[in-house]
Amino acid sequence: MFKKLAFTVALASASTLAFAEPVTYKLDPAHTDVIAQWSHFGFSNPSAHFGDADGTLVYDADNVAASSVEVTLPLSGLNSFTAKFDEHLRSSDFFDAAAFPVATFKSTRVESAGEGKLTVTGELTIKDITRPVVLDVTLNKIGENMGGQAAIGFDATTTVKRTDFDLGMAAPAVSDEVSLRITTEAAVPKDA
């Protein structure tokens, strides 16, 4: 009887491992960055960084379609590394941060794109204008972070058009297309 009970417990444990539940992670703003880059009249390719990200990432390794991501980027975290230009970017000429203080992204579909690769389709909202965006995503690592928390890290890229979000000042001389490079680390909260 003991052998039968031990076998049943082992089988139940194995089936639990085989069908892992989705894991919910909280974005780490210190290790999450969105870098935007564009052409300035063909002379240079400046960039701006969007920091202080807040969000949640759900990842299901066994069923990536059950995964999701939701991120808020406060425009207070916008940094072009030039204070005067930051003010201009936050002005009504561009982001109008006083009226629209955050940008958001919410996934609508996650698909496998090969080993360690994902395609994440979602809705990007800037200035209350929502447009579909597709991210090409690379899974960097799943493991434990320095604090001993379960953690995950991704990189992603996409291209958006400024004019789609009423940010088109000086387009197309200043490129309408903006490349976005995203890196993120997220961890399971300690109280979870």
Q: What is the pLDDT of residues 82-132, one digit of tens each?
A: 999 999 999 999 999 999 999 999 999 999 999 999 999 999 999 999 999
Q: Strand runs (DSSP E) across 21-128, as ranges? A: 23-27, 33-37, 47-50, 54-59, 68-74, 78-79, 102-112, 117-126
Q: Which residue has the tokens 């991120």?
A: 71
Q: Output the pLDDT for position 14.
A: 42
What span, in angstroms and rounded, lies between the C-alpha atoms of 192 and 71? 19
Beta bridge partners of 174: 40
**pTM value > 0.85:** yes
1 CB-near residues (< 8 Å, 6+ apart) = none
Name the H helices within 36-121: 83-90
Distances (CA, A) of 159 to 56, 163, 181: 22, 12, 9
**Radius of gyration of the chain, Cα coordinates, nearest whole angstrom:** 20
Q: Which residue has the tokens 């995503």?
A: 137
Let me know: does 115 contact 125? Beta carbons within 8 Å.
Answer: no
The per-residue pLDDT for range 44-61, each reduced to its tens digit, is 999 999 999 999 999 999
Name the H helices within the chain: 2-18, 83-90
Omega before 101 within 30 of 0, i.e. cis:
no
Q: Output the pLDDT for position 1.
A: 45
For residues 42 and 10, which has the higher predicted lDDT (pLDDT)?
42
Task: Region of 142 please: left (phi>0), alpha (psi -120 to 50) or beta.
Answer: beta
The per-residue pLDDT for range 161-185, each reduced to its tens digit, is 999 999 999 999 999 999 999 999 9
